[in-house]
Amino acid sequence: MRAASVISRQGGAALIVALVALVAMITAGFALFRSVDNANLASTNYQLLRSAEQNTDMAMNEALLAYMQAHPNAALNVLDRNTDQAAIAYFAKQQEQNAEGIPNVLAALSAPGWAADGPQATGWPGEQIDATSRQLRRYVIERLCDAVGPATADQCRRYQYRFPRNCTNNCAATPDEWLPFVRVTVRIDGPKNAVVYAQMFLKGD
């Protein structure tokens, strides 16, 4: 009878150890699964940011060409810098912005619709769709002025531009000129409603 009691107690202890080991294995499995999932998510985010950086550079370049009146699509060129031209995403007056400094006219845009091959066009002026990264890029150009019209000292944030000493073409009568600053804001829309913003400040003319 005493030997049977010892065997019974040993069997119960082994069951407890087995259950503890099983719980530990399950916990380790969940931890490994979560680690792999986080690694995949981080890798996806990194790829998104890398491709968004490339699209941001292209959108900035397109906006710069439009402002300098050298865009391949002549209809997007900013020919009159003293007036708002929403049809080409240019504003001579700085637009209202959100807490992050993003113009509401851009931040409030709806996310694009999606098809099997990527985002669909929204009709925003100058927008481009990158088929490789499946990202949509849009931009807004703003003159940092409180009103439309000539860039006066009381209405605009300006900088002093000095003409070269040997200037012979399009030179003002005075050796320098005060010109407004310009802000370009880019919005990139990617898969799964991902949105990336970037800004660049220019010395306008």
CB 202, CB 182: distance < 8 Å: yes
Is the pLDDT confidence value at 200 over 60? yes
- Which one has a higher pLDDT value, 190 or 48? 190
For residue 79, what are the domain limits? 2-203
Alpha-carbon distance 87 to 90, whole Å?
8
Tokens representing residue 168 in the block:
């012979």
Percent of the chain past pLDDT 70, that is, above it, reads: 68
Nearest Cα to 124, choosing from 86, 94, 93, 96? Answer: 86
Tokens representing residue 110 in the block:
């709806």
pLDDT score of 20: 66
Structural domains counted in the chain:
1
